[in-house]
Every structure is written in C-alpha cells, then in structure tokens.
Amino acid sequence: MEATVDLIESVPLFEPLDTALCQRIQAITQVVAVEADQVLAQQGAMPESFHILLEGQVALASTAADGTTALIEVLHPIDHFVLASVLTRLPYLVTARTVTRARLFAIDALGLLDLVEQEASLANTLLRSVSREFRTMLRQVRDLKLRTAAQRLGCYLLARVKDSEAQKADFRLPFDKGLLAARLGCRQENLSRAFATLRAYGVETHGSRVILHDIPKLKALAVPDELNDPAVI
Amino acid sequence: MEATVDLIESVPLFEPLDTALCQRIQAITQVVAVEADQVLAQQGAMPESFHILLEGQVALASTAADGTTALIEVLHPIDHFVLASVLTRLPYLVTARTVTRARLFAIDALGLLDLVEQEASLANTLLRSVSREFRTMLRQVRDLKLRTAAQRLGCYLLARVKDSEAQKADFRLPFDKGLLAARLGCRQENLSRAFATLRAYGVETHGSRVILHDIPKLKALAVPDELNDPAVI
DNA sequence: CCGGGGCATTGATGTGGATCAACCATGGCG
DNA sequence: CGCCATGGTTGATCCACATCAATGCCCCGG
C-alpha cells in the first residue's frame, strides 16, 4: 500500500522536513501490515528497507553463533529501526520480529540513501536520530556492566512514569514478563525474584498491573539515568 | 595551536570532503597536546569540542551514581569521540581521559553544528561514522549478554590479527592488562584466569607479548563477530 | 464443573565473575 | 646490591544469575 504525504509528515522523525522532501520520501515508502511473530529484518541479510513502526510492537534481537539470543530492545510507536544498517550499507545486526500485529512504513533503502546524499535537512534529522540511538546503546552497555537485574527493573519501571515529581504511580506493563525479562537481560525466574526484592521498595504487582507506592525509595535503589546524566535522552 | 588544512584532509573521516570545506573545519580546529591521565571531556558536562585522536590513547569511561565505573572503549589513532553528544547538544555520557600522552584535534562544537547543517557532504560522512559507532555499541551489548570473559578475550585477540587466513600470530597488547580487563568488562584477576583457560587453545603470553599458535581452535571457542555478521565493521 | 495448557512463582543447585588476600616477578632507585 | 613499588598471578570465598525442577494460578474449552 502507498503511504500518504500527510502520514509521512506526521512522523516525528520527519517533522523538520519540508513538504517537497516528504513527497519524495512518500514515493519510496510502502505501508505494511503484518501479523504477530513475523520477521521484518533478518540478522546477516543486507538491508532492503528502513522501517518505521506506526502501530504494534517490534522486538530487536541478536543471535550469536552458538544460537543463543540477546533481546536488544522492544519498540513502540512511533519509533524506527535498522537505520544504521541502511546508512552504512552493512548487513543487519539484529533480527526484527513483530511481537503483536503491527503496521509500519517500509522505506526503500537505496532510495533513502539517494535522498540523504542530496538533502542536508534529511541527513541532519537522521544524524540526530542515530546519535540519540547511539547514546541509548551506550547507556545500555553501562547498565549491563554496572547494575543488577533488580536495579535495571527499577529503572525500567521508573521510566514508565512520565511525571518526574510523582511520589506514586500505577500502570500496566506494555508486554508480558517473559519479554520484559529478556529486555532487561535476565531470565523470567530472575525477573520474578527481582520483583520480589522490589516489594520492599514499595512495588506491588498484580499480573501486568504495577503500583509504585514509594517512588523516591525506589529511585534510591535503582539510581535511574536522570540522576547520572542531567537533561538526558 | 592552529591545525593545517593538510592535516585536516588527512583524517579518514574527512577524506570525502572538498578542500573548501576542510578549510572551514580548519578554522574551528585546535591541535592539542596533553600528558597522560588528563581529562578531555567530563561526563555530565555540555559538549564544547569534538575530538579526533592523532597520537596516543584515550579511554572512554562511564560512571554510575554509586561511583562505579565502566570502561566503554580505548581509542587509538586515528579515531574520534563524543561525536553523538556534540550532534545532539546533550551532556557527555562518558569521561574521556588520556591513557598516554596524546595529540588531538579539538573542533569547536557549535561551529561544527553550523557546518553540518549547511553542508550535506559533512552531514553524510558524520552520519556514516555515527552509524558505524552505533553498530559497534550494539555488538558490545550482544557481547556482554552472550559471551563469557574468556570468549570476549579470544575475540579481542583475534581482532588484533589482520590476516583473516592466518593460522598463527604473534603481537603485543597495545596497553596493560588492567586496562584490557576493564575494556573486556571484567577484573584483572579474571583476565588472568581467562588467559589461563585460553592456554588450552594455543594462546601463549609473556607479559604483553601474545602468541596465538592455533587460530582456528581459538576461533571455535570465541566465535568472533565475522562469523555472525558477514562483511562486518 | 472439571481437566489441561500456558504463564508466573518458588525452591535447589551450579557457574561465572567479583572480591579479598596473599604471593611472585620485575624494574627503578637509593 | 638490596629495597620497595608496581603489575601480574593464584587461591578462597561470596554474590548474582542461570538452570533445572516442582508447584500454583488462571483462563479456556469440553
């Protein structure tokens, strides 16, 4: 299916671009609807499309030679993936798979490369985006090296609450605990135990429902990034 | 000290750029010489300069709120650092510190941002560079999640040998084992033990001298990235 | 109403790596 | 020449997490 220019312009990534350029992007963009558990990009394959997630969830995972797999990230709308592979013309480092049924833009890789070379505004917006993604990965490296699973879980939960002043919060996990465990880099059993340790810090759970009774106390345990890195993202 | 245009043009990162643009970069670049163990960028501070390492070594480390530190990378000439922070105008996520005495370019952050916005060729070369850095970080995440310290050491050693066909190799570690341990995300004691396990796979060491007697055997243990990710960088 | 198949929790045990501590080589220097 | 500082190795113990196994829970269909 063809994408409309309106739809292209509504993507935050493309917000700084003028309409003429969005039209040229639209010309190389398809809207794709897929079921859950479908592969959108295969690790090791050469990039064909740059993907923007409009609805649903997508998991990015990387597999080692022995077959073990590390879940890198779970994406929510509106986010995008495999940008760095497309821009470097190097094989995908991750397999992207839908968690739920989803709707996405698939933007032709070579067409996008052409546009990027000609249009400084597009190059600039992508440059900022890849830079932010780089910082996210760097933080994940620091996380894995320095924090325990319980602290990573605490950070994840704290990141779900928008209001930075709030003392309490109440929300649902966006996906099941198996996926959350993988996202945090541990096993489901350990996630359970991590939730158990966090109970002493005012964390109550009922299935996917989470209640944080004492956010300051939790922050003291988990030490979220905001405290390390002022004005972060 | 002022940089010369020749010197700017000789940096691989700037190789695709025309002379006029290199002149404009030269105008905002200082050559800096520093002793060992000097801080060039402080985590949490706003970016003032984009750095390119010409001689010596620089370590990038990130510190958590509890004071523990993770070494992210040790850089060699000609490489560069803190690009993503400069481009996003967000605080440094790492502290950059010289390991040896060093010589660098310090390019004014705001001046560079101006140039990037105007010049598609510069935006493009930086875009590719940040993308490659992103992929490096992503691989480090996978490494930490999936490989043991001995495997990471094996990969590191295998990466030192250029010739991909070689059966044997012989070289020196570029820095001391304390730093190498940090780079691999473990303690010095464990690095020692990792070297000990690798002895069974044909790895011989005398101080910083390393001899690999049986590269195929070592590859079978460590499973370096080339095997996962064809045509990698 | 009952039985079964997921998902989540809980327990027991094993492993990788951290930590603490002692020891050994090396090399600079009085 | 001997002293001590430094970097590297080795051993003992501890902690976080993985793994294996059993059980509880809940929904769903018969």
Higher pLDDT, A32 or A232: A32
- Inter-residue contact A124 to B119 (CB < 8 Å): no
The percent of residues above 90 in pLDDT, for chain A, comes to 75
Highest-confidence segment of A153-157, A211-215, B32-36, B83-87: B83-87
Q: How far is the CA of A190 from the C1' of D28 (A)?
A: 28
Per-residue pLDDT reduced to its tens digit, A185-203: 999 999 999 999 999 999 9
Between positions 169 and 208 of A, the ones with CB within 8 A of B are 185
Query: Is the pLDDT reported for residue A162 higher than 70?
Result: yes
For the segment A140-145, the average pLDDT, to the nearest whole number, is 90
What mean pLDDT comes out for the span A205-230? 81
| pLDDT tens column, A62-74 | 988 778 899 999 9
- Taking CB atoms and an 8 Å limit, are B64 and A147 in contact across chains? yes
**Is this model's pTM higher than 0.85 or not?**
yes
Is pLDDT of A230 > 60?
A: no
pLDDT in tens, B197-225: 999 999 999 988 999 999 999 998 888 87
Residue range B17-45: mean pLDDT, rounded: 95
As a whole number, mean pLDDT of residues A151-179 equals 89
Mean of the per-residue pLDDT values for chain B? 92
Residue of A nearest to B134 (CA): A134
* pLDDT recorded at residue A226: 62
Any B CB within 8 A of A68 CB? yes
Mean pLDDT, rounded, for A221-225: 81
